[in-house]
Amino acid sequence: MDYQKTHPWIRFSIDLRQCGYRLWLTLGEIASKIEHLSGAALRPDVAVELNKIYLTKGARATTAIEGNTLSEEQVKLAVEGKLDLPASQRYLQVEVENILDLCNEEVQSLLTDEGKHHPGLCVGLMKRYNVGVLKGLELSEGTVPGEIREHSVVVGNIYRGPLAQDCEFLLNKLCEWLNGADFKAPDAALQVPLALVKAIVAHVYFAWIHPFGDGNGRTARLLEFHILLANGVPMPAAHLLSDHYNLTRSQYYRELAKASASGGDLIPFITYALQGFLDGIREQIRRVREQQLIVAWENYVHGRFREFRPSKTHKRRRDLVLELSRHEWVEVAKIELLTPQIAREYAAAGDRMIQRDLNELAKLRLIERRHGKVMTRKYLIQAFLPARVKDKVAMSKKPNV
């Protein structure tokens, strides 16, 4: 085949034994965090919001790399079905909506029995993604969505793809390799780590082959998304690679170029991609933990007030401490300004009632008071922090005076 002479780095092999220990440690931490994220208990409304946030980031990232200029806020409106751009910018909206539709279709497919028993990657799937990516867009002459290109391509005036007549063969060879023994996990513990490597490798090889007239980058990132979802990676985390590539776009292109220039050594690109994924999933775990702490604190506050006979006074104090929980240190003089409801509660009674309520909340050990400011003691529910660490947490939130 001609590609063996023109693109010798496309060799459909990878020796993971060459990976350094740091890469395996990274994969181990990622696998642990994916298990943590998968089992996280969240209120349904919070889970929906987090899914929306990362769907927005993923769709924006995979289109922004290709030059789409919509902001994250505009893409969020598209996720909510509220974006309405003028005719001159309509194509930007279509590009994003195509990615959103494909991501949502992928999630729905994997929830069905058909999706759960998907035979693996195939050329037909890649062609279907490309059709979806290019749907409704104006295309250059000779580009047909979902059909292998019949012309040569040069990417970024630097990288020339394989000859058109080799592309169909190369895609079939890629699918055969990705579905083969090299990426079969010997046990369940290695399924996610190997799926991550497989997704990244699929992305790079697809970008090297560049089989379609347009939309190759977006199609490659959808393949990554598909592989991660199909192997149990939670939907928010499955968008992290695209977001990482977009945030580090210059390095992304440098790493792709280095991979081919090195003769096909993918370990540096895999290392680069996994570090970005790890940073992203650490942030997701932080967000999830933050939400879980909010729920645990609210339950703790409600539990403390169940010790008393229900009354307007106790309800007012409970509502006050829950509102204070949304802030760090709050000046006592500004408590009445926190919400309209609090303003109404204290409008007639004035400062004395506020002081009495704060004194009682302090006795219940729900708040701290310093220098005319108050803060809730949310850190109390971090059960496994040693006492001295909790003290440091409290001191780190010391008010500015």
Identify any residues that bridge with 369 across adjacent strands, giving them in sequence order. 374
Q: Structural domains in the chain? A: 3-289 (1.10.3290.10), 310-384 (1.10.10.10)
What pLDDT does residue 401 have? 46
Q: Average pLDDT for residues 258-269, to the nearest whole number? A: 94
How many angstroms separate the CA atoms of 15 and 13, rounded? 7
pLDDT tens profile 291-325: 999 999 999 999 999 988 889 999 999 999 999 99
Q: Can you give the pLDDT at residue 280?
A: 96
pLDDT in tens, 46-62: 899 999 999 999 999 99
Predicted pLDDT of residue 324: 95
Give pTM, 2 decimals: 0.86
The whole-number pLDDT of residue 256 equals: 93
Share above pLDDT 70 across residues of the chain, in percent, rounded to a whole number? 93
Query: pLDDT-derived band of residue 113, with 50, 70 and 90 as boundaries?
Result: low
pLDDT at 157 over 80: no
For residue 276, give the nearest of 351, 200, 339 by alpha carbon.
200
Model confidence at 32: pLDDT above 90: yes
Residue, of 330 and 41, whose pLDDT is higher: 330
pLDDT digits (tens, 9 = 90+) for 210-245: 999 999 999 999 999 999 999 999 999 999 999 999
Average pLDDT score over residue span 69-98: 96
Query: For residue 361, what pLDDT is reported?
Result: 95
Q: Classify 14 in phi/psi space as left (phi over 0), alpha (psi -120 to 50) or beta.
A: beta
Q: Tell me if 201 sits within 8 A of 178, measured CB to CB.
A: yes
| pLDDT tens-digit map of 376-399 | 999 888 766 555 444 554 545 555
Alpha helices in 14-43 (DSSP H): 21-38
Query: How high is the mean pLDDT of the chain?
Result: 90
pLDDT band at residue 110 under the 50/70/90 scheme: confident
Question: 228 exposed, middle or buried (CB, 10 Å; 0-12, 13-18, 19+)?
Answer: buried
Within 8 A by CB and 6+ apart from 230, the residues are 110, 115, 118, 195
pLDDT digits (tens, 9 = 90+) for 350-360: 778 999 999 99
pLDDT number for residue 387: 53
166-202 pLDDT, tens digit per residue, is 999 999 999 999 999 999 999 998 999 999 999 999 9
**pLDDT for position 384:** 63
Structure tokens at 100: 């959103």
Q: Which of the four pLDDT bands, split at 50, 70 and 90, describes residue 116?
A: low
